Amino acid sequence: MSSDSGDPPAVRRWPHVLRLAVFAAFLLTLFYLVAVQRVIDIDAVRAAIARAGPLAPLVYIPVSALLATMFVPGPLLAAGSGVLFGPVLGTFVTLGSTVTTATIAAFVGRRAGRDSARALIGEQWAGRIDDQIKRRGLWAVVGQRFVPGISDALASYTFGAFGLPLWQMAIGAFIGSMPRAFVYTALGASISDLSSPLAYAAIAVWCAMAVIGAFAAHRGYRSWRANNRKG
């Protein structure tokens, strides 16, 4: 017997759960192989790029970006940029790589998980998230970059899965990553003399970032709780 109630058809949840589980398992496996087991020889990659001569900075940006999407630690890649190109050019190379990483990861996350995530959380919550993205999406990316201990690649995949536009991801990553790009690139450039003024400046910026990040995380948590109580 047909129903004329006009209610939307029930969503089959298990295909979406399976899709997200496969995506999460893929990312976890990648993280384990690259970040834990270190199956990629970063020193060999850096040496190969150095042989590109004047084109090395242009080669380093996409290679470093791809490695970062595979969970090679960002500080390690940024330090390598400092070793190869010095603190000034190296910082711009690191920023270029960071923005490229964020864009790629958000695109993959969007294609792999957005539809399933929206189907599982429901239209009401999806609408709330869309509203938050319109109002605060870019600044959420900026704030995330200041919070220590969060994988930028993992955060970018997650932002993409929740539908954050790629332009917000790219601009937010650029703004939020500037201090960190300088810190790790400068430390890499001064690795042979960690008592240099450049190294001290990098450490001072890192400390300031940690304080700002902790404050931003606290404010964000309080705002989230307040919004939940109102809802």
Chain segment 20-38, per-residue pLDDT in tens: 788 889 888 988 888 888 8
State the pLDDT at residue 174: 96
Q: Decide if 4 is inside a domain.
A: no
CB 190 within 8 A of CB 198: yes
pLDDT above 90: residue 91: yes
Residue 78 lies in a domain: yes
Alpha helices in the chain (DSSP H): 13-31, 42-50, 56-69, 74-85, 87-146, 152-161, 166-189, 197-230
Whether 7 maps to a domain, the answer reads no
The residue among 56, 66, 137 whose CA lies nearest residue 103 is 66
In a domain, 230, yes or no: no
Q: How far, in Å, CA of 79 to CA of 182, rounded? A: 10
Lowest mean per-residue pLDDT among 55-69, 87-101, 123-137, 192-206: 123-137
In which domain, by residue range, is 174 found?
A: 13-225
Q: Cβ of 40: how many Cβ atoms within 10 Å?
A: 14
Of 197, 220, 87, 63, the C-alpha closest to 142 is 220
Q: Does a structural domain hold residue 118?
A: yes
Break the chain down into helix, strand, coil percent, rounded to 5: 80, 0, 20
Q: Mean pLDDT over all residues of the chain? A: 84
Check whether 3 has a pLDDT greater than 50.
Answer: no
The total number of structural domains that make up the chain: 1
Averaged pLDDT, 145-161: 86
pTM, entire model: 0.81
Residue 104 is assigned to a structural domain of this protein = yes
Residue 38 is assigned to a structural domain of this protein: yes
Q: Write down the pLDDT at residue 228.
A: 58
Whether residue 6 lies inside any domain: the answer is no
> Between these two residues, 155 and 19, which has the higher pLDDT value?
155
